[in-house]
Amino acid sequence: MTVDDPLDSVRAALAAMSDDDLDEMHRMAQNGSQLSRPLLAFLAHGSVWELSRRAGQSFELHLPQAAIGAQERDFAFLSLGQMLVDLRKRKPLVALLTATAEALHAEPANDGLTGH
């Protein structure tokens, strides 16, 4: 039995985004004062990870649980919901937010800090 990596969908969503979408997500993560800060940190991390991957640099993509603790999860899901409503016409961003929610729902198979 193989275990799906909860970051597979996140990686696919990031790879499908344009550089402009990734830059926008990173800017939103830096300026989203009314949203979950740990969630925004994860989204900024994912954007930088994908831009770096495209530039030939490699480092671990962390699971959202590395930034979003158990006490912050409910607010992170509320923030994801608000972002999904606000960005509903931006399919690449919606795909990333949906994949992030799925990864956040998943139980980490390891220490919760990193994926492959």
- Angle (CA) 45-48-50 rounded to 5° is 105
Count of CB atoms within 10 A of residue 90's CB? 17
86: alpha, beta or left, given left = phi > 0 and alpha = psi -120 to 50?
alpha
Domain assignments of the chain as residue spans, ordered by start? 8-56+63-105
Residue-level pLDDT at 3 = 56
Q: Smallest Cα–Cα separation from 93: which of 7, 38, 16, 6?
A: 16
Rg (CA), the chain: 13
Residue-level pLDDT at 112 = 46
Contact call for residues 15 and 61 (beta carbons, < 8 A): no
Q: Which DSSP state fits 106?
A: S
Which residues are within 8 A (CB) of 17 and not within 5 positions of it... i.e. 6 or more apart?
A: 25, 50, 92, 93, 96
Q: How far is CA 97 from CA 23, 57, 94, in A?
A: 15, 24, 5
pLDDT tens series, the chain, 116 aa: 455 788 999 999 999 999 999 988 888 887 767 889 999 999 999 999 999 999 999 889 999 999 999 999 999 999 999 999 988 999 999 999 999 999 999 866 554 444 44
Residue-level pLDDT at 109 = 54
